Amino acid sequence: MLIGFAGIGRMGRPMARNLVAAGHAVLGHDPAVDEMPDGVTPVTDAAALAEAPISISMLPDAASTRELVRGGLAAAGPDHLHIVMGTVGPEVVRELAEGGPVAIVDAPVSGSVSLAETAAITTMVGGAPDLVERARPVLAAMTSAQFHTGPVGTGSVAKLAMNAVLGLLSQGVAEGLLIAECGGLDPAAFYEVLRNSAAGAPYVGYKEKAFLEPDVAGVAAPVSLIRKDLAMALELARRGGAGVPASEVALAVLDEAVAAGLGEQDMARVLSALRMRARSTDGGGRPVTESGAEVEATIRGLEDARYDAVLRGDFPAFAALSHPRLTYTHSNGSVDTLDSYREKVESGFYVYHRIDHPIDRVVVEGDTALVIGEMHADITAGGTRKTLANRALAVWVRVDEGWRLIAYQPTVLPDGGRSGVRVSR
C-alpha cells in the first residue's frame, strides 16, 4: 500500500522504516530532515501525501498537525484516511475530524525510540470502528498492540492520562533515590530492590541506567517532551474541573528542569532537578534565598520556554507557565485573559511564524521579576500577515508552583526598528 508519512523525527524515522520493512511504499515529508530512511521516497510538498489512500503524521504539536491536514491534505478528499500519531491533544484531533477535509483517527504511541525501532511500541486508537479497522494493518506494521479506546480523540486522552502517570512515576523513582541517598543507601542497591518490588513497573526496569548513569545512558524521551504532555494533561483536567495536585507538583519540577537547561536531556534527569531543589534548602528544610543571578537564569529560561510554546502553537505548555489571572496586552491595544488568548490561539486567529525576543535586563524584587527587552515576530492575526517590532515588558510572579507569567505589555517601536537593546540570553 502507498502511505504518506509526515514527521521523520526521533520517533517517526524508525516507524517509517518499519512500514517499508512490512512491504509498504512510503512517501516521506519533513522539511527539517536532509535524508530519509532507506526505502522512503522524499516529497518536498506536503500535498504529495494526498496521493496515498492513507497518511500518517508524527508531528510535535497541534499547529503543525492542523497545517498539514487543512493545508497539505486539503485536496485529498473524504475517502483519504489520516492517522494522527503525534501527541497533539484531543481538541485539535476532534476539530479536524469534524471539519477537516479527510477522515481522521488518532493513534498516539507509548514507548521509547529503541522500542519503535523493533515495532514494540503500542498505540491507543480513537475513531469510528470502520476507520480503526482500516488503519489497524498499517498500525500493526509499526506497533505491537493497538488498543481501540473509543471515538476519535480518546486515543489522545488516553495518551495524556498515561503520560501523567509516567511523569509521576518518574518523579517517584527520583524521590526514592534521593531518600535512599539521604539515608546512606547506595543508589544501585536501592534500585535493585525497587526493580524487584511491588513498585517495579516495566518503566522502572528499563530506566535504570538513565537514573543511575545519566551521562552515558542516552536520551529515550526528553524532559521537554514529557513536560509538554503533562502540561496538556493538566489543561485537560482543569477544563474538566478535576484537581490533580501531584501532577501540578511534577510539572513544576519539570519546569525547573527546563529552566536549568535540561530540556533535551532524558526525562530521568528529573532527578537532577530535584537535587538542585535540595541544594536550595538548608539542613532543616528551610528555603535558602536564591541569588539574583540564579533567579535571573530561571526567568530567562522560562521566557525561552513560553515563547517557544507560542511559536509551536502549544497552548497547554504556555498555559502551564502562566498565572490564572494573566493579563496579555497586544501591540494594537487589545487585551486578553488567559482564556480569551487560548481561544484565539487554538482557533488559529493568532499564528506565530517567527519570534525573536532579545532581553535587555531582568529586574527581581522579592517574588516579582520584570523582563525588559524586545519582541520581534512574523505572525498571522485574523488572517492578515504582520511583522511585529515591539519593546516588551513581561511580569513574572513567584507562587507555590514556581514562577508564572502574570502580565505582558508590548509597545510598538518607531519605524519598526530595534531600539538598541543589548541581546543577552
User: Which residues in 344-362 are b (16+ Cβ under 10 Å) and which e?
Assistant: bbbebebbbeeebbbbbeb
How far is 76 from 137, CA to CA, in rounded Å? Answer: 21
Q: How far from 126 is each of 60, 123, 154, 225, CA to CA, in Å?
A: 18, 10, 5, 21
How far is 407 from 327, CA to CA, in rounded Å? Answer: 5
CB 246 within 8 A of CB 306: no
How far is 66 from 64, CA to CA, in rounded Å? Answer: 5
How far is 210 from 333, CA to CA, in rounded Å? Answer: 48
Query: Among 159, 207, 209, 228, which one carries the catalytic annotation?
Result: 159
**Beta pairing, strands 81-84 & 25-29:** unpaired
How far is 102 from 388, CA to CA, in rounded Å? Answer: 35
List of E strands, 237-340: 322-329, 335-336
Angle at the Cα of 86 (from 83 to 87), degrees rounded to 5?
125
How far is 22 from 131, CA to CA, in rounded Å? Answer: 20
Q: What is the 8-class DSSP label of residue 69?
A: I
How far is 386 from 354, CA to CA, in rounded Å? Answer: 11
Q: Annotated catalytic, 209? A: no
Dig out the grid coordinates for 125 from the structure. Answer: 486508537
Dig out the grid coordinates for 285 from the structure. Answer: 528544610
- Tell me the DSSP string of 348-387: TSEEEEEEE--EEEEEEETTEEEEEEEEEEEEEETTEEEE
**Count, residues in the chain:** 425
How far is 109 from 140, CA to CA, in rounded Å? Answer: 12
- Tell me the DSSP string of 192-245: HHHHTSTT--HHHHHTHHHHH-HHHH--SSBHHHHHHHHHHHHHHHHHTT---H
Rg (CA), the chain: 22
Query: Which residues are annotated as catalytic?
Result: 159
